Amino acid sequence: MIERGQGTTPDTKVGMFWCVGETVVGEAVPLSEAEPYGDVLQHGGHYDFRLHLKSRTEAERLLTCHAYDYYTRGRVVYFQTRQQFRLYMDGCLSARDRESIADYFGLAGTQLKIERDTHYQCAGCNRRYLE
């Protein structure tokens, strides 16, 4: 059984994303559809999502024109025991990007911890990046 914490609503979601310019591209699902991984509820994978993406918008087209780790990216998960959302993110994400991500995942009013994760390094952050 999935436990909803204080501040969660049917609109709060988890998943993964990229920021392509000022647009958030990704896949977000409500907690009721999330996949459990220990105490964490999560969803999706960057590589598989991008591989199967049918580019319908300019941001999606730009995303598919580069390697999956070219643009800034990250993931939102939910820790059930702590009743806390966590945003794992690329170091390049600005405050405006974080606001857009919070809107995309419906996280207004939730307990959100933001954590930089070196796993999510875009071409700009990764000095050894080769495309």
Assess if residue 82 is contained within a domain. Answer: yes
pLDDT in tens, 93-125: 999 999 999 999 999 888 899 999 888 888 888
Residue 5 has pLDDT above 90, yes or no: no
User: What CA–CA distance (Å, rounded) separates 89 from 25?
Assistant: 14
Assess if residue 56 is contained within a domain. Answer: yes
Assess if residue 1 is contained within a domain. Answer: no
Assess if residue 54 is contained within a domain. Answer: yes
Residue 125 is predicted with a pLDDT of 84
Look up the pTM and report it.
0.88
Residue 11 is predicted with a pLDDT of 78
Assess if residue 122 is contained within a domain. Answer: no
In the 8-state DSSP scheme, what is residue 31?
A: G
Q: Domain count of the chain?
A: 1
The residue segments making up the domain with residue 58 are: 13-116
Residue 129 is predicted with a pLDDT of 66
Residue 118 is predicted with a pLDDT of 85
Residue matched to tokens 């996949």: 35
Assess if residue 130 is contained within a domain. Answer: no
Q: Give φ, ψ of 108 to 5 degrees.
A: -60, 130
Assess if residue 83 is contained within a domain. Answer: yes
pLDDT in tens, 46-73: 999 998 999 999 999 999 999 888 999 9
* Contact of 28 with 11, CB cutoff 8 Å: no
Assess if residue 32 is contained within a domain. Answer: yes
